[in-house]
Amino acid sequence: MTDFPTPADHLRQEYEQYKMLFDDQPAIVQRFVEGQARQIAEALVSKTYRLQFSLPDRVSMTLKQVGKNAVVTIPEAQRHQHVGNLGNGLVGHEIRDAVLIRLRELEQSPDQAIAAGANLTRYAAAVHLVMNMLPSGRNVSYRPQADEAIPSIPVADDALESAITQNSDAIAEEGQADVGRGELQSPFVPAARRFYLPQWVAFDLDGKMLAGSEKEAEAQIQSMQRYVQILHRASSLASYMVACEDYQRKRYGILGQLINQGRALARYKTAEIIREIKRRADTGNLNRGLSVSMPYFDDQNLIMVELRFDVIPSGRIMFVPAFVVRAARSEQAKVAQDTRLNSSTRKHLLEQLRALEAAFQIQ
């Protein structure tokens, strides 16, 4: 029985093909292409109106006509490329689309050298996004929560790093054996070191905040979202990058951490909402209406979202805890039927609403 190549096999072959093309170039050509690729990569992740880049002056490639390797020159007039300008208003995704269109046009050129130069530039830009713009993290292993598709619960690892192997963002710890001998420098608290990038861990597995404030925790979530965004930019620029082991390692590490920490932040904010409602109820400040913005983490779109609903309509109605219980149960019924949410996000949001309900049930 013949085994047909899968889409993953095709992507792997394509990745290896362009990696080999790049590796076959002279060092001076590689450095030039990397410099141009850096400009393209930065344009793809930043707000810019225009981009200029150049193809290399020569390319080492296999000529289709003769099937032999040769160094082919790209004419000066055809090397320089301009995308966008200050007058045409290209911003955001438009400049990114324009870059992709230009590279595609160059790759379809009947001139083999121009096409190869564009291939090299695309490959190098995608590699720069993954390898140079994103920090590498620890070797981690996650397990999925229940039957979820994306693993997000870190598996315990007793082999924690020492300050010798990593000295950034170190904290001071003093163990029983070290009392009186000064402070031992350890990179991160053990709870943070279970994740891929400990510097962006805002909560431990029990929900205790490790960040200095809620604002700092939100900033760490945003840093992880940007990390994922850059990975997406790389795969949209060159789909074959998903076959790169470094891409897969970084994607696995950051996705599990982002979902875990995003949910933890949502739970933290829900606890704050519950405390605020109880505080205002004790002071009689909830008799003119109450609405709730329930935070949750959408793991399909990887963003924090709020579900807004009314508990008490505006007016002079005395607050009683049963109103919160009734509203939370009503929203649970709606969320359970909401097909816009994937199963894991729906489960997480239902847990948030149950926590709100439980906090105001009269025992």
- Whether residues 127 and 187 share a domain: the answer is no
Q: Which residues pair with 310 in a beta bridge?
A: 291
Q: 254 and 269: one domain?
A: no
* Upper half-sphere CA count for residue 316 (Cβ side, 13 Å): 0
Q: Is residue 12 part of a domain?
A: yes
Q: Which amino acid is at 168?
A: S
Task: Decide which of 110, 132, 154 is a domain's last residue.
Answer: 132
The pLDDT of residue 289: 82
**Residue 87 counted as domain residue:** yes
In a domain, 181, yes or no: yes
Shared-domain flag, residues 286 and 178: no
Q: Based on the domain organization, do 271 and 229 belong to the same domain?
A: no
Q: Could you report the per-residue pLDDT of 31-41, keeping only the tens digit for each?
A: 999 999 999 99
Give yes or no: residues 112 and 55 share one domain. Answer: yes
Q: For the chain, what is the domain count?
A: 3
Q: Does 153 share its domain with 97?
A: no
Q: Please indicate, yes or no, whether residues 237 and 161 belong to a single structural domain of this protein.
A: yes
Distance CA 306, CA 199 (A): 26
DSSP state of 62: E
Alpha helices in 170-244 (DSSP H): 214-237
In a domain, 1, yes or no: no
Q: Which domain holds residue 166?
A: 142-258
Say if 217 falls within a structural domain: yes
Give the chain's mean pLDDT.
88
Same domain, yes or no: 182 and 293:
no
- Residue 240 domain flag: yes
CA separation for the pair 201, 221 (Å, rounded) = 9
Confidence (pLDDT) at 65: 61
- Domain end among 208, 243, 258: 258
pLDDT tens figures, 188-228: 789 999 999 999 999 999 999 999 999 999 999 999 999 99
Q: Is residue 2 part of a domain?
A: no
270 and 253 inside one domain:
no
In single-letter form, the type of residue at position 342 comes to N
Is the Cβ–Cβ distance between 356 and 292 less than 8 Å? yes
For helices 245-282 and 343-359, angle between their N-to-C axes, nearest 10 degrees? 20
Tell me, yes or no, whether 12 and 124 share the same domain: yes
Contacts of 345 (CB under 8 A, 6+ apart): 296, 297, 298, 299, 300
91 belongs to a structural domain? yes
Spatial separation of the C-alpha atoms in residues 211 and 224, rounded to whole Å = 15
Res 165: pLDDT? 42
Tell me, what amino acid is at 316? R
pLDDT value for 183? 44
Q: What is the mean pLDDT of each run of 10 residues along the chain (363 residues)?
A: 77 96 96 97 87 95 74 92 68 78 95 96 98 96 90 75 42 39 57 95 96 96 97 97 97 98 98 95 84 96 96 82 95 96 96 96 73
CA 218 to CA 212: how far, in whole Å? 11
Specify the pTM: 0.86
pLDDT at residue number 173: 39
Q: Are residues 113 and 150 in the same domain?
A: no
* Domain-terminating residue out of 202, 226, 258: 258
Which pair of tokens denotes residue 125?
Answer: 């830009």
pLDDT at 47: 78
| E strands present in the chain | 51-54, 58-63, 68-73, 80-83, 142-143, 153-154, 171-173, 184-186, 290-298, 303-312
Q: What is the pLDDT of residue 262?
A: 98
